[in-house]
Amino acid sequence: MIIINPNVAVDLLSICGVPVQSNVPLTAVSSWRVGGRAKILVKPQTEEEVIALRKYISKHQLPSLIIGNTTNLLFADCNIDAIFMQIGSGFSQVKLSGSTILAKAGVWVPKLARLALQAGLTGIEHTCGIPGTLGGLVVMNGGSQRKGIGDSIVYVKTIDANGNTKIYSREECRFDYRSSIFQKLDEVIVEVKLQLESVANKKIMHNEMLAILRSRSAKFPRKIPNCGSVFVSNPAIYKQSGAPGKVIEECGLKGVIKGGAQISKDHANFIVNTGTATASDILYLIHVVRNEVYKKTGCIMKVEPKYIDRFGNIQEI
């Protein structure tokens, strides 16, 4: 495994023109507020900067990781020897044309849902309460009410590991429930085109979005660090026993604590950081839930977040 030397930070600044941070505490980056330190963190603001970064990283065969708002990542407790590329605020532009939206990957999802509402366009209102950026939402085919953003996508534009630009049609994205082809590709999503529909009554749509937000506010922990839902809804378990949170609660696990991590008292499909949690604490609770739910239902629950190891590798939990 290649170890990143200090000269890399200097090269990135001079060759790619991207501001570089070194030894960044991941507790300040992670939605869960856990993790060691990132060796290097860069925040490209343009596609040209992403291309230059990817070419440099590929040429020198350096370990790297692409991150957004980190709502589906669990960083290792140790220092991570990799270049973290976080899509910056420069990727927050949105263009509307009729019933289509062309949006950069760094757009805040709730903001995008509000813009669609203001334009009288329906199709993505189910995303209005999801904290995260559009790129990450596309990777996970995220949404709520058992819907996914993939249903509204025309194409996704990416930059691959060698700095080449690629375009994927909706069919090529292979969207499924909380999954897409991008979970297996080493590519940076930079732009997304959405096809929505005009709505006759914006007030009805607005009320629907308010209802979604009220429901999320009542059920989900908001002020305590977390990553959102931990376990993906399993059709077999759902048919037999209901949603993940309900099943976990029926196993008597709601409120269970390990170190500074806790299975939320508000919603059992959330694991929160009460202040001193580590990645190990969170992993422990995940395995406890999996084991108990398996005993009860005979099904293994899939974990939505991915684990990032000491070299920046993405691993299933």
Which active-site residues does the annotation give? 178, 229, 304
Task: Record the tokens describing residue 60, joined without a space.
Answer: 């020198």
Cross-strand partners of 197: 122
Alpha-carbon distance of 248 to 254, in angstroms, equals 7
